[in-house]
Amino acid sequence: MYEWMDEGNEKGRDLIPVSSEVYAARIALLGSIFSVLGDGLSAIAAGMALQQAEIESAQEAKELKEADDQSKQVEALQKQIEQLTKRIESMEKRTS
């Protein structure tokens, strides 16, 4: 194989033979570079996915706590209603 390589002469560039091993090494280097870049992008994507999962988990926990708080409030209101109902019934019995 041949490649244009600058030999530093004033006439321009000369055609110099380059072995297939050199091309194979260059391709291997490029492959390694792309692989490292791909691994880096994969790591970034995994980090972003983890961050999103943590946000969603925190949001879920917050929603569960709010639902539990609302349930407790409903139970407390129900208890108050029952107490008031009993008082009204006892007042009605007294007046009748």
Residue ranges per domain, the chain? 2-95
Quick one: pLDDT at residue 5? 55
Report which of 27, 9, 30, 31 is spatially closest to residue 18, judged by C-alpha positions: 27
Q: Using pLDDT thresholds of 50, 70 and 90, give the confidence band for residue 37.
A: very high
**Contacts with 16 (C-beta within 8 Å, 6 or more apart), sequence order:** 2, 3, 4, 5, 7
pLDDT, tens digit, 9 for 90 and up, residues 39-86: 999 999 999 999 999 999 999 999 999 999 999 999 999 999 999 999
